[in-house]
Structure 1
Amino acid sequence: MPDSPLFESLKRAADDPAARPEFYRRLLAAEVFVIGHGDGPGEGRSTVPAGAHLSIQHWQNAEGESVIPFFTDLEALQRAIDEEKSYLGLPARSLFEMTAGTRLVLNPRSDYGKEFHPEEIRSLLDNGSNQSPQTRRAEADTDVLLGQPSDYPTAMVEALQRLLPGYPEVEAAYLCLMQEGGDAPRQSLLVGLRGDGLARARHAAGSVIADTAPEGRAVDLIEIAGDAEEGGVAGYLYHQTRPFYERDRPAAAAPEAPKRPWWRRLFGG
């Protein structure tokens, strides 16, 4: 039997960070399955009417913490249990909302799965991304040094090159290293996106950056207007650097394994 579309998306996301924003979108729109029952008795699948009281089974993860297992499809659920259980199908978004504050594990005892922390679930519900963006604003004029990084973040850049063709609103993307002065010097990579209506692309790029940035390296993300002045940070990226991605000329690059594991085999099996 062929795998479900959601499970196929999960497998792509496990192998390629650039595929993870699409997986999150599919997950939030999908029906998932949990072990448990509603108000009605009986084994097998139950429907969930509005206002129903649900009893959802909890498991323990390897650290002994209580988690709720949920599954992309019935085949994944059946692989995870040793005896017949009642189960429920319900929208993933509804599951996230009703279990707020609890850890959830997708497809335990499967080769492809993921643990979702409460903060990550809250971010998914709020903005469709597993990362909540943090906005920084300079309170005063700040001296910065700009240049190209000597240790180029190849894995991050190649993942963004694979991601951005799916966002036609992005005209180009740029990269530099920024060293801020002042009382608290700070060094970070800076990624600039040029285009219009970039909110969706910005969230997706932020998610990919979080999974592929070099260990211990801060990364800032800015939008670049088409009329960016040469004197500012955005102007430096636009006028003095070569984009690593352009909409009409996307770069092709072989995937590189992320430096930190995101997906892992869960609960043995």
Structure 2
Amino acid sequence: MPDNPLFESLKRAADDPAARPEFYRRLLTAEIFVIGHGDGSSEGRGTVPAGAHLSIEHWQNAEGESVIPFFTDLEALQRAIDEEKSYLGLPARSLFEMTAGTRLVLNPRSDYGKEFHPEEVRSLLENGSNHSPETRRTEADTDVLLGQPSEYPTAMVEALQRLLTGYPEVEAAYLCLMQQGGESPQQSLVVGLRGGNLERARLAAGSVIADTAPQGRAVDLIEISSDAQEGGLAGYLRDETTPFHERQQAARTRSDDAPRRPWWRRLFGGG
């Protein structure tokens, strides 16, 4: 495999959830390759002029659904086909925009690949992350119980530690378990980030949390300001818990190993 920054980023993301936000950023600015042709193009590589009409080849995945294959580099493309075909290079963002609503598969028949669902593509285009955060706001004062989880989310916390070392704007990160009262008590994990200008870090952390949170466990992500009220949720995290990450020094986590949900898989077979 040639030295290709996008492919190398894909490999890192396959092994480490903390590397996935960087992969998504790199993908959105990269040139990728598709099987197909444009106006007047012939067999082999073509370029895509503005306003051109494109014919892009569709495949079927294992479930019989129509998908569009695209590739990090020409070697991955050539390994996936059995005969000579025309291909085009174009920005990944342009492909996402022109194929909205269609499933896409990166590097089928390769050891490293990923399927992109339409809602995931839409989120990438809107905020640069595969995960669209949902904002929740309480309409009235709510009684909650706060503490530490008995089953510590080690995989999630360790992935966040690795991620946050690349975000110096995050001064510290905290974790707790929150249980809301009422007739049907609800539990969720809460991750708090303290620092300034946290939008970039918050989106990246949300993406990592979506991939590594314990199965079936809701996770809320909040920002902790320097003037967080004592006694509130943010104040509890800041004043009564030990941060699992501090700028320039990540706190140690428990050594028990938690299973990770699969994210990448070999696609289509062959090769």
Cα distance in 2 for residues equivalent to 1:202 and 1:258: 24
- The change in CA–CA distance for 1:22 and 1:252 in structure 2 (over 3 A counts) is farther
- 1:169 equivalent in alignment to 2:169: yes
- The change in CA–CA distance for 1:257 and 1:3 in structure 2 (over 3 A counts) is farther
Cα distance in 2 for residues equivalent to 1:186 and 1:252: 28
* Structure 2 unaligned residues grouped into runs of 5+: none
- The change in CA–CA distance for 1:137 and 1:49 in structure 2 (over 3 A counts) is same
Could you give the per-residue CA deviations for residues 126-152 of structure 1, whole angstroms, max 9, x where no partner exists? 000000000000011000000000100
- 1:100 equivalent in alignment to 2:100: yes
Cα distance in 1 for residues equivalent to 2:99 and 2:192: 36
Deviation at 1:7, TM superposition (A): 0.3
- 1:8 is matched with 8
- 1:260 is matched with 261
- 2:145 is matched with 145
- 2:3 partner letter: D
Cα distance in 1 for residues equivalent to 2:142 and 2:154: 29
Could you give the per-residue CA deviations for residues 219-266 of structure 1, whole angstroms, max 9, x where no partner exists? 000000012121100000000000000003124779x68521100000
| Preserved contact between residue 206 and residue 221 of structure 2 (Cα < 8 Å) | yes
**Kindly, what percent of the aligned residue pairs are identical?**
85
- 2:162 partner letter: R
- 1:235 equivalent in alignment to 2:230: no
| Preserved contact between residue 29 and residue 92 of structure 1 (Cα < 8 Å) | yes
Cα distance in 1 for residues equivalent to 2:186 and 2:224: 21
- 1:4 partner letter: N
- 1:71 equivalent in alignment to 2:71: yes
Cα distance in 1 for residues equivalent to 2:69 and 2:147: 46
- 2:119 is matched with 119
- 1:192 partner letter: G
- 1:259 partner letter: R
Task: Please tell me the root mean square deviation across aligned C-alpha atoms, in Å.
Answer: 1.5
- 1:188 equivalent in alignment to 2:188: yes
Cα distance in 2 for residues equivalent to 1:59 and 1:9: 25
| Preserved contact between residue 211 and residue 258 of structure 1 (Cα < 8 Å) | no
* Structure 1 unaligned residues grouped into runs of 5+: none
- 2:99 partner letter: T
- 2:139 partner letter: E
Cα distance in 2 for residues equivalent to 1:134 and 1:115: 23
Aligned residue pairs total: 269
Deviation at 1:35, TM superposition (A): 0.1
- The change in CA–CA distance for 1:257 and 1:128 in structure 2 (over 3 A counts) is farther
- 1:205 equivalent in alignment to 2:240: no
Structure 1 length-normalised TM: 0.97
- 2:222 partner letter: I
Secondary structure at the aligned position of 2:174 is classed as strand
| Preserved contact between residue 120 and residue 130 of structure 1 (Cα < 8 Å) | yes
- The change in CA–CA distance for 1:135 and 1:221 in structure 2 (over 3 A counts) is same
- The change in CA–CA distance for 1:95 and 1:101 in structure 2 (over 3 A counts) is same
Cα distance in 1 for residues equivalent to 2:116 and 2:258: 21
- 1:149 partner letter: P
- 1:168 partner letter: P
